[in-house]
Amino acid sequence: MRRIVLLVLAVCFANYLSAQNQSATWIWYPGDYEVWLSNDMQNRRTERGTFFPPFWKMDSHYVLVEFHKEFQLDKPEEISIYAEGVYNVKINGKMVHGTPSKLKLDKGTQKVTIKVHNQAHVPSLMVQGETVNTSKDWLVTFEDKEWIDETGKASDASGTTYVKVGYWNFNDPENKPSAFKLPTRLEHAVSVTPHKDGKLIDFGVNTFGFLTLKDLKGKGQLEIYYGESKEEALGIETCETLDVLDINNSSPADTTLENSKAFRYVYVIGENDLDFKGADMLYEYLPVEERGTFKSSNDRLNKIWDVANYTMELTSREFYIDGIKRDRWIWSGDAYQSYAMNYYLGFDQETVKRTIYALRGKEPTQSHINTIMDYSFYWFLSIYDYYLYTGDREFIEAIYPRMQTLMEFVLERRNKEGLMQGLAGDWVFVDWAEGLSKEGALSFEQLLLCRSLETMAFCAELVGENKEKDYYNAEAKELKDKIFNYYWNENKQAFVHSVVDGEQSDNVTRYTNMFAIFFDYLNDQQKQGVKSNVLFNDDVQKILTPYMRYYELEALCALDEKDIVMQEMLDYWGGMLDLGATTFWEEYNPEKQGADHYSMYGREFGKSLCHSWGASPIYLLGKYFIGVKPTSPAYDTYLIEPYLSTLEWMEGTVPTPQGDIKVHMDNQTLTLSAPHGVGTLRLNSSIVPTANKGEFTKVGDNLYEMRIDKDFEYKINYKK
């Protein structure tokens, strides 16, 4: 609740500011701030006190950029100029003397050009005037090729590529992009208990932020061991994160640590007489509006949703990260799922965009995103989803050139059969699964590439590149044919896992088969084959990560096996709750026992107990049970197909760009309203449903559809 109050205050403050000026905002070269901020964030990982940066190429912003925009002024106007970096100003091509912080513009045409240089931070600019303000419509270049010719006249800047600027929400001159920090709030430990040579602190739930030790007094070395579990905090030889401080407090003082950490438990051992009285923390969080909700008659399911929501809250930071304890990095495959959950929670477009920019990085493209082949493909897919949910064409236009160059990189790496196969430096990931073969060309990678090519074609059309659209469509078509030729096994009625040296392998895994279902690449017969021979076949290696469980359950939803999905959610995620989980895990194997659950990567506490990909019930419940999804960009059209399954009732809200869709359902009545667009309600009912507006059409056995218009509360009676 506190979080919402803060947000309201923030909005008021923003309103106050906008009264002062015409919404000036800090601007920069698009993607550069995201690259800079993500470098900063991702280099905060430590492992047992040691700096642990990412192992892929980190990019840098352009250190010198030029901003410009032309204005037509009715009357003279004074502008204020703020920059992060050293700068100069030209008005109508003429250099202004010195480094003006205020400047009077004449009336008439005024082309404002400002060049900013900064190595340590992103060159950023804010201009405030009555009508002349920095905004998303300004242009920027990093290679202005203007030059002064021998006649002394400034030539036109031909050959210069101007693009629209990047921006976020820095709307106050004092609120500099380089100074950005996530907000924090005070939280208290629930217990501090003596344990052997030290004290064990418990915060009650897995959390993230800056530990405060209260009334810390004495002199000597203070050892601080963090644990997502009690076992980890007490496992001082093997816990994943720790801090060692030299303290010299002659009188008691509260000490807050400089580095944020993830923990539920903290075990503190003080040398000599070092001691402290209690513990607090500054909980660090990304402010996100609470929009998506879910409640039902099943308390266990509600708890699952709440814990998933909290898991998402913790892993939504400057960017969507994987887990809070260990990597704190941006991984494309993990982020792809965070985006999807976000569309059913806060609908926070900015964090999606920031994360997509940060993952892409800058030219030259020399490796896959995060070095992982599949992660390049999820990056393409995420852009399709983003557009579908938000309708944000501006972003597609901005990101399209980077899509082109990444796809160029990808296509140049195909083998002689035209298939994606791991080359030196490529990490073919798919999933954490014992003994999973990465040899040869995996069907899974081809499938993701095919969908990526379809996304390229879609976006090419959006930005008006029709020749490119045709090219990508042709490539997608050709690859799809290859996928069936190379990998579909008629006897098994399933896709096999790989082709090695031109030979189809005998191995069948779930990945390709389940993705093919919700990509809608299969006909009905093939779908049924996959369902019984793969998804319902216990001989096929089981999936143990919530990461791939997400897609497996999505495939089952697409096959209308939602009751199984409901039960799986209750069992699998419920299973973690039964073990005391306060956030969802990186991996969960119900067959393990006790603290064995916490091990991974050959390390005793290697597993992340708060991992973004653990939060997928958010998405599954919103999309397949509350049942709301867009069928055209920004919910201009959408489908509502609520499904109670074993629940007695459920209710939820699903955010859209223009407000929330609200659904309440029990066994006999459905109430819903939508703020925008034209929806299709689809009901599976044994009797013809009736509504207070509109009429149902029968579209199949027990299947009825009705048009939903905006701004009306529908009440529908039906029998399940």
Shortest reach from residue 142's CB to a copy of itself, in Å: 6
SS3 content of the chain, % helix, strand, coil (to 5): 30, 30, 40
Q: Measured from the CB atom, is 96 or 688 closer to a copy of itself?
A: 96
Distance between CA atoms of 561 and 110, rounded to whole angstroms?
63
Among 258, 299, 434, 501, the residue binding a copy of itself under the rule CB under 8 A is 434
Residue type, position 418, single letter: G
Q: Measured from the CB atom, is 56 or 378 closer to a copy of itself?
A: 56
Contact 316, 351 (CB under 8 A): yes
Q: Which stretch binds a copy of itself (CB under 8 A): 18-26, 146-154, 271-279, 522-530?
A: 146-154
The maximal CA–CA distance of the chain, rounded, in angstroms, is 85
Among 41, 61, 247, 714, the residue binding a copy of itself under the rule CB under 8 A is 61
With binding defined as CB under 8 A, does residue 424 bind a copy of itself?
Answer: yes
With binding defined as CB under 8 A, does residue 602 bind a copy of itself?
Answer: yes
Q: How many CB atoms lie within 10 A of CB 319?
A: 25
Q: Measured from the CB atom, is 144 or 228 closer to a copy of itself?
A: 144
Please, what sign has the CA dihedral across residues 672, 675, 678, 679? negative
Cβ-based neighbours of 194, under 8 Å, separated by 6 or more: 200
Give Cα separations from 524 to 521, 529, 537, 551, 663 (angstroms). Answer: 10, 9, 18, 19, 31
With binding defined as CB under 8 A, does residue 115 bind a copy of itself?
Answer: yes
Please, what sign has the CA dihedral across residues 425, 430, 434, 437? negative
With CA atoms as reference, report the closest residue to 280 among 270, 296, 297, 266.
266
Among 15, 158, 251, 525, the residue binding a copy of itself under the rule CB under 8 A is 158
Q: Which stretch binds a copy of itself (CB under 8 A): 11-19, 117-125, 529-537, 572-580?
A: 117-125
With CA atoms as reference, report the closest residue to 641 among 692, 693, 694, 699.
699
DSSP 3-state of 502: coil
Cβ-based neighbours of 41, under 8 Å, separated by 6 or more: 317, 318, 319, 321, 328, 330
With binding defined as CB under 8 A, does residue 2 bind a copy of itself?
Answer: no
Among 28, 29, 56, 336, the residue binding a copy of itself under the rule CB under 8 A is 56
Shortest reach from residue 424's CB to a copy of itself, in Å: 4
Q: Measured from the CB atom, is 497 or 664 closer to a copy of itself?
A: 497
Q: Which stretch binds a copy of itself (CB under 8 A): 36-44, 67-75, 316-324, 407-415?
A: 36-44
With binding defined as CB under 8 A, does residue 367 bind a copy of itself?
Answer: yes
Q: Measured from the CB atom, is 57 or 75 closer to a copy of itself?
A: 57
Contact 447, 512 (CB under 8 A): yes
Shortest reach from residue 182's CB to a copy of itself, in Å: 19
Q: Measured from the CB atom, is 115 or 510 closer to a copy of itself?
A: 115
Among 29, 33, 36, 572, the residue binding a copy of itself under the rule CB under 8 A is 36
Binding mask 603-642 toward a copy of itself (x if CB under 8 A, else -) reads: x--x------------------------------------
Q: Measured from the CB atom, is 151 or 491 closer to a copy of itself?
A: 151
Q: Measured from the CB atom, is 142 or 471 closer to a copy of itself?
A: 142
With CA atoms as reference, report the closest residue to 583 among 321, 306, 228, 307.
307
Give Cα separations from 716 to 141, 624, 644, 711 (angstroms). Answer: 56, 19, 15, 16
Give Cα separations from 354 to 321, 350, 396, 613 (angstroms). Answer: 12, 6, 13, 19
Shortest reach from residue 362's CB to a copy of itself, in Å: 9
Q: Which stretch binds a copy of itself (CB under 8 A): 42-50, 444-452, 548-556, 573-581?
A: 42-50
Shortest reach from residue 480's CB to a copy of itself, in Å: 29
Q: What secondary structure does DSSP assign to 576-616, as a single string?
A: HHHTT-SS--S---TT--GGGGG-BTTBTT-S-SSBGGGGT
Shortest reach from residue 64's CB to a copy of itself, in Å: 4
Q: Measured from the CB atom, is 12 or 86 closer to a copy of itself?
A: 86
With binding defined as CB under 8 A, does residue 258 bind a copy of itself?
Answer: no
Q: Measured from the CB atom, is 98 or 594 closer to a copy of itself?
A: 98
Give Cα separations from 119 to 175, 435, 608 (angstroms). Answer: 19, 46, 35
Among 190, 244, 474, 699, the residue binding a copy of itself under the rule CB under 8 A is 244
Among 9, 13, 22, 49, the residue binding a copy of itself under the rule CB under 8 A is 49
Among 144, 280, 322, 568, the residue binding a copy of itself under the rule CB under 8 A is 144
Please, what sign has the CA dihedral across residues 345, 346, 350, 355? negative
Shortest reach from residue 429's CB to a copy of itself, in Å: 9
DSSP 3-state of 641: coil
Please confirm whether the linkage preceding 76 is cis (ω < 30° from 0): no
Q: Are strands 649-656 and 498-500 parallel, antiparallel or unpaired?
A: unpaired
DSSP 3-state of 661: strand
With binding defined as CB under 8 A, does residue 594 bind a copy of itself?
Answer: no
Q: Which stretch binds a copy of itself (CB under 8 A): 2-10, 41-49, 617-625, 628-636?
A: 41-49
Cα of first residue to Cα of last residue in the chain, in angstroms, is 36
Q: Are strands 678-684 and 669-673 parallel, antiparallel or unpaired?
A: unpaired
With binding defined as CB under 8 A, does residue 361 bind a copy of itself?
Answer: no
Q: Measured from the CB atom, is 333 or 617 closer to a copy of itself?
A: 333
With CA atoms as reference, report the closest residue to 377 among 418, 332, 413.
332
Buried b (16+ CB within 10 A) or exposed e, 110-139: bebbbbbebeebbbbbbbbbeebbbbeebb
With binding defined as CB under 8 A, does residue 99 bind a copy of itself?
Answer: yes
With binding defined as CB under 8 A, does residue 148 bind a copy of itself?
Answer: yes
With binding defined as CB under 8 A, does residue 404 bind a copy of itself?
Answer: no
- Which residues make beta-bridge pairs with 488? 495
Cβ-based neighbours of 490, under 8 Å, separated by 6 or more: none
Q: Which of residues 658-677 bind a copy of itself (CB under 8 A)?
A: none
Total residues contacting a copy of itself by CB under 8 A comes to: 66
Q: Measured from the CB atom, is 190 or 244 closer to a copy of itself?
A: 244
With binding defined as CB under 8 A, does residue 547 bind a copy of itself?
Answer: no
Q: Which stretch binds a copy of itself (CB under 8 A): 43-51, 344-352, 620-628, 647-655?
A: 43-51
Distance between CA atoms of 398 and 246, rounded to whole angstroms?
49
Q: Measured from the CB atom, is 123 or 574 closer to a copy of itself?
A: 123
Footprint on this chain of a copy of itself (rule: CB under 8 A): 36, 39-40, 43, 47-64, 86-88, 95-99, 115, 117, 119-120, 142-148, 150-153, 158-160, 244, 363-364, 366-367, 371, 423-427, 432-434, 601-603, 606
